[in-house]
Amino acid sequence: MVTPRLVIAAPGSSHGKTTVATGLMGALRQEGLEVAGFKVGPDYIDPGYHAMATGRPGRNLDPHLCREDQIMPLFLHGMAAPRPADVAVVEGVMGLFDGQIGGDGYASTAHVAGLLRAPIVLVLDISSVSRTAAALVHGLHTFDPQVRLSGVVLNKAGSLRHSDEIVRALEATGLPVLGVLPRNAGIEAPSRHLGLVPARERADAAASIEALADQVHEHLDLSGLLALAHGAPALTGEPWAPDRVVGPPSERRPVVAVAGGRAFTFRYAETDELLRAAGCEPVVFDPLTDPALPEGTAGIYLGGGFPEVHAGELAANASLRTALRAAIEAGTPTVAECAGLLYLCEEVDGSPMVGAVHARGTMTPTLTLGYRTVVADADSLLAEAGRRVTGHEFHRTHVEPPAGQESAWLVEGQPVGFSADPAGLGRPTLHASYLHLHWAGHPRLAQRFADAVHAHARDRATGQRAPSLSGREDLHHHGDAEVGEGLVDFAVNVQHPAPPPWLADVITATLSQLGAYPDSTEATVAVALAHGVEVEQVLLTAGAAEAFTLLARALPTKHPVIVHPQFTEPEAALVAAGHAPVRVLLDAASGFRLDPDRVPGDADLVVVGNPTNPTGVLHPVEVLERLRRPVRVLVVDEAFLDAVAGSPPSMIDGDLTGLLVLRSLTKTWGLAGLRAGYVVGDADLVARLRAQQPPWSVSTPALAAITACVSPKALELAADQAEVIAARRTVLVDGLAALGLTVAGDPAGPFVLVDTTPVRGHRPAGGIRAALRTFGFAVRRGDTFPGLGADWVRIAVRDEDTTGRLLDALSSVAGVLR
């Protein structure tokens, strides 16, 4: 296979390899040739210039990141994709023989040139040298008998007299001088803390490359350089092909959102090719300007770049940061390398970032640079435990802590990076570290990531979620755990600290009956009459929580589904009974509204709240009706329906076949300590629950309270109270809006759900809730509800004065004037 090629090398860095290589690529393209650009080593910045000069991807050739025997196949692939090239220009790295430390030149320019059997042209900065240049070239030419130079380009000549002196001295080496670039050519690229400024960040990059090409045309011997390239020996072997090392795990084409733009310019060309071969669709988004992730995002790849340079702009794009954090917290498979890690931190040098990784990034004066060989110490999104991987680091930042509770990798036995399961799926879906990886060298990592992306796309399309038997959420955490001495309670949804006097009298009157066992007959009849159902369709319970335990034990479910975020006791009860519930996560973008089509068709038990705790969303009855199936039990938790204004319709008011509706009386009437509730539903299902219930489960005082609370007079009082709650909720919602906080969805219950991220500032995730406690206010944390993160809080509706005090405290915490 005839493959014209040249390697551009130098005695060391800063001699002008990038200048000459990029200019040569541009000049050859101006001649009408299709040019393929390559870079020896791990560097991302130079290939960005190559890509702009050639109009095709710049590619890397690195025997450490990829195996030595992959260099030729990857080179041949780069010559053929996206279209056949006429000639290749390969830019070297550092000095000609400089490679992996301790590796005797392994991964050096000379090493790669030998693997490619390519002629080497040496670029020499002569700005501070004269005849000694010939000695330097002679030494490089003879240092290794296996490495021979084919020509020299002199760079930064001070004058014709200066360069002629060196050209004469070089005659002794027998190497042709293929051009002399003057010192005042004006074609140097700007640099900063990690080398050249990436081409994507320079508005003048295209013009600069055109100027480079013009200089090469004027001062270099293009014919001589092409003759050397065409004199390279023919190559044999098969090009690397991504579809031979990875494959699509399904027929879907899930979208992988790939960070790009000026802040994220680093990733290897083969990354996108492998994702496509694995059945994914990489879609580039710009974290600086895009308000949301690409539509249909099922995976996220955040590569390298300079978030520290663009931190202010990244922080200003709060809508994308919120969307990205929500996607990660919902279990979207996410890989973040170096810049991606910084972007996912809580902040970088004081600028707020995404907050999906609980660490902070800072600039340091120290450069971290080097090849790494790492090991996965546990199963992660990218690698199974024990997998050994090669990569490299290149940064002047530091994150603290350097590793999470579960690390991404072990480097010389030390944990680094973050592997996490933010959605509580029982498997890691987030992988973030400083390590840059070349997936062509480790295609199993690409396949593992693609498999996770396909699975996430499938689960989202069908509404399924993996069982959460050991997720991060504390399913038994409730609002009462937030309350403490001296704190004003906005965490518990009970409306009154004690029952009203008339109800307290009813309860007190039962004290003389406590010597006898409870008799539930009267209360059961009262509930049946209140709802117009048969007594066989009613089961009294010690609050709604007991009902969840009974149904988990009584129903022989094989495919239970919980619609989240909602009250966590249903899932906790199912897990305790040995079931593996699947989660359907509603999202903030849709106002936490229920789409029945997202519930898996094979679900034989579906649990949903209405209105849902903690979102407050009231799902229309006709939407809930779409969840019903002949072989499915639908459980609707209406614990807060009596607190909804306007007499909303109940699922009890229709056909009860296959249906169980749960009610609680503790919220409206201040009875949390008494435990009073009931189930209304399909008589056969109710009988199954009754068979699991211990005798005398509901106490005599609770039975009396139930009877009283379903009386016509009590129902009228509850309706009046619901109107009061609605008015007070409006005060709370409007007050939060004045502080820049929008409640989730369209709340109908005695609480609202709020994402405090917009006012969190530099605090860590959950910082607003913690700060409110120091001001004497307790709100319900959100991160124990599946699908929500630490910045979400549930706030109970209280009277106007108490609400005003909370808003004043929140104003002080957030630094926002009311």
How many residues does this entry show for the chain? 818
* Distance (Å, whole) CA 520 – CA 517: 10
Q: How far, CA to CA in Å, does 403 sit from each of 69, 359, 550?
A: 34, 9, 43
Q: Are residues 215 and 184 in contact, defined by beta-carbon separation less than 8 angstroms?
A: no
Residue 473 neighbours by CB distance under 10 Å: 20
**Cα-trace Rg, the chain:** 34
* Distance (Å, whole) CA 764 – CA 783: 14
* Distance (Å, whole) CA 435 – CA 376: 12
Token pair for 165: 């002196």
Q: Are residues 38 and 51 in contact, defined by beta-carbon separation less than 8 angstroms?
A: no
* Distance (Å, whole) CA 232 – CA 75: 14
Q: Are residues 258 and 267 in contact, defined by beta-carbon separation less than 8 angstroms?
A: yes
Query: Amino acid letter at 797?
Result: V
Measure the N-to-C terminal CA separation of the chain; round to a whole number of Å: 74
Token pair for 707: 């009877």
CB-based contacts of 135: which residues, under 8 Å, 6+ apart?
Answer: none
CA of residue 144 relative to chain centroid, distance? 48
* Distance (Å, whole) CA 287 – CA 318: 10
Tell me the angle at which helices 543-554 and 569-576 cross, rounded to the nearest 10 degrees.
Answer: 40
Q: Are residues 653 and 662 in contact, defined by beta-carbon separation less than 8 angstroms?
A: no
H/E stretch holding 282 reads strand 281-285
* Distance (Å, whole) CA 732 – CA 738: 10
Q: Sheet holding 5-9: strands in order across?
A: 59-61, 35-40, 87-91, 5-9, 120-125, 149-157, 177-182
* Distance (Å, whole) CA 756 – CA 740: 9
Task: Give the 3-state secondary structure of 613-658.
Answer: CCCCCCCCHHHHHCCCCCCCEEEEECCCHHHCCCCCCCHHHCCCCC
* Distance (Å, whole) CA 106 – CA 93: 12
Write down the residue that tokens 């992959």 correspond to. 70
Selecting among 280, 338, 345, 709, the annotated active-site residue is 338
Tell me the angle at which helices 132-142 and 160-170 cross, rounded to the nearest 10 degrees.
Answer: 40
Q: How far, CA to CA in Å, does 708 sit from each of 272, 499, 507?
A: 66, 12, 9
338 as an active site residue: the answer is yes
Active site residues: 338
